[in-house]
Amino acid sequence: EDLSGGEKARLLFSLMSLNAPHILILDEPTNHLDVESREALIHAINGYEGAVIMISHDRHLIEACADRLWLVHDGTVTAYDGDMDDYKKLILKSRSTSRKKEKKTNVTQKIKSESSELTSQRKILGKNLEKLEKKIKRITAEIVKYDRALKNPKLYVHGDVRAAAALKKFTAEKLDMSLDLEEFEREWLEIQEAMERILTE
């Protein structure tokens, strides 16, 4: 009962590997662990001489321990040669493609459909630019709030189911907002480039 969170994590890992198995399978091992316990688990995994198969959404754990990645998607498992940054780019690209099909927000098409006059195009682009800047400012402020919330040590209390659920919720919502922000910033750059082309015509 007097053991710290990190000591408990190391003890648990030692007990699991007591019979010296050649392979361990860990399913979301950092769920419900506090910060100290998570770091202790990472240290124990890295010091384990056998193979460890982990199923996890914890980016920090994966980056600290994994030397090979496999993607589980649509009922299939495939080897992935990239790192976590590459995976994030893959997800962003996939979401961007999906949004383009659903919303049909191609900036050039909007300009052509609304007006063929250069003056009208500049006005339309200017309004769209202002709207995007407001969205970018709002989402940036929201992301800052989530960053502050995720620094709350109460979210990492060992055994607190509500805290774990809140942590998962905040992390997912922050990721969605980050993806939205990158999409809006991409559209903003497209409009800027379109306005520059109009000015040179």
Across the chain, which distance is largest between two alpha carbons, in Å?
A: 77
Task: Decide: 182 and 143 in contact? Cβ < 8 Å.
Answer: no
**Residue 36, domain member (yes or no):** yes
Identify the pLDDT of residue 155.
84
Give the H/E segment covering residue 10. helix 5-16
What tens digit of pLDDT does each residue of 10-35 get? 676 666 666 656 787 888 887 777 77
Contact call for residues 53 and 26 (beta carbons, < 8 A) = yes
| Predicted confidence (pLDDT) at residue 1 exceeds the cutoff of 60 | no
Residue, of 93 and 189, whose pLDDT is higher? 189
Chosen domain end from 21, 48, 67: 67
**Pairing label, strands 51-55, 23-27:** parallel
Q: Are 52 and 109 within one domain?
A: no
Mean pLDDT of 91-109: 66
* Residue 76 located in a structural domain: no
Query: Residue 84 falls within a domain, yes or no?
Result: no
Q: How far apart are CA 163 and CA 165, in angstroms?
A: 5
Q: Where are the beta strands (DSSP E) in the chain?
A: 23-27, 51-55, 69-73, 76-80
Instruction: Indicate whether 112 and 50 sit together in one domain.
Output: no
Instruction: Determine if the pTM surpasses 0.75.
Output: no
Residue ranges making up the domain that contains 138: 105-200
Q: Is residue 149 part of a domain?
A: yes
Number of domains in the chain: 2
- The pLDDT tens digits of the residues spanning 21-72 come to 678 788 888 777 777 778 888 888 888 888 888 888 888 888 888 888 888 7
Give tens-digit pLDDT for 105-150: 566 666 555 556 667 777 888 888 889 999 999 999 999 998 888 8
* CB 184 within 8 Å of CB 133: no
Mean pLDDT of 70-76: 80
The span from the CA of 125 to the CA of 120, in Å, is 9
- Residue 81 forms part of a structural domain: no
Inside any domain, residue 94: no
Q: Which long-range contacts (CB under 8 A, 24 or more apart) does 145-150 make?
A: 146/170, 146/173, 146/174, 146/177, 147/174, 150/174
Q: Does any domain span residue 160?
A: yes
Residues 109 and 196 in one domain: yes
Tokens 């040669």 correspond to 81
The percent of residues above 90 in pLDDT, for the chain, comes to 9
CATH code, domain carrying 41: 3.40.50.300
The pLDDT score that the predictor gives to residue 138 is: 93
In-domain check, residue 16: yes
pLDDT at 6: 61
